[in-house]
Amino acid sequence: MLRTVAGGVTLAVRAQPGAKKTAIVGIYGEGAAAQLKIAVQAPPIEGRANEALLRFLAMTFGIPRARVELVSGELSRSKVFLLRGVTEERATSLIEEQMGK
């Protein structure tokens, strides 16, 4: 789900567009293939869900929107985001906090 890379971490996400609100709802899959499941209020039309995810991740990890990049999965529910300036430890802590652990 999280992988340390030069300058930050990548985060594998499973998007669930068209939800009542944007929020982390759990983990999708297991092991190395696990993805953070995020319900997205925006519909998957004209990139709206992707933009909503970018803003949500920036807010969740406390970084500017410009430091969050969609690396792959633009047209898929399975996506990978690059979070610049975030450590794997901090990302894990913030995800657990959001999930209420």
Cα–Cα dist 42/85, whole Å: 26
In this structure, are strands 35-40 and 8-17 parallel, antiparallel, or unpaired? parallel
Q: pLDDT tens digits for 72-93?
A: 999 999 999 999 999 999 999 9
The mean of the pLDDT values for the chain is: 95
Domain boundaries, the chain: 2-98
Fold of 2-98: Conserved Hypothetical Protein Mth637; Chain: A; (3.30.1200)
Q: What is this structure's pTM?
A: 0.95
